[in-house]
Amino acid sequence: MVEDVFRVGANMTDESCRNAHLSVFSYTLPDSIADTRTDIAYWYGSKEAWLGKKYANCILSKLPGVKIKVFKGFDHGELCIGNPDLYLKEVTEFLNS
């Protein structure tokens, strides 16, 4: 999957890369998300806490019941890409809770 990401990125213009980054870092949750009736989990790695914690707090402000979990020593995407067995275990536990 990493090779695919690099291949796509290599074929993007500088402007497209800039736009993608700006959209990620300026996105805000719509107020309507508070109307959701489903359980939500937000997981992030401790190595990306500088951003993950910010997003977690944003989600919590609109959905106080969200289940947040930080994976110690993990970086962005490392849970699902680098540790698929652990990822599936966590997903199964969340869905069964």
Quickly state the pLDDT bin for 1 (edges 50, 70, 90). Answer: low
Q: Is the pLDDT of residue 8 over 90?
A: no
Q: Is the pLDDT of residue 4 over 80?
A: yes
Domain hosting 59: range is: 2-29+39-96
Contact 89, 79 (CB under 8 A): no
Structural domain contains residue 52: yes
How many domains in the chain? 1
pLDDT exceeds 90 at position 45: yes
Look up the pTM and report it. Answer: 0.74
Is the pLDDT reported for residue 9 higher than 90? no
In a domain, 58, yes or no: yes
Averaged pLDDT for residues 9-25: 86
| DSSP assignments along the chain, one per residue | -HHHHHHHHHTS-HHHHHHHHHHHHH----GGGGG--S--EEEEEGGGHHHHHHHHHHHHHH-TT-EEEEETT--TTIIIII-HHHHHHHHHHHHH-
Q: Is residue 51 part of a domain?
A: yes
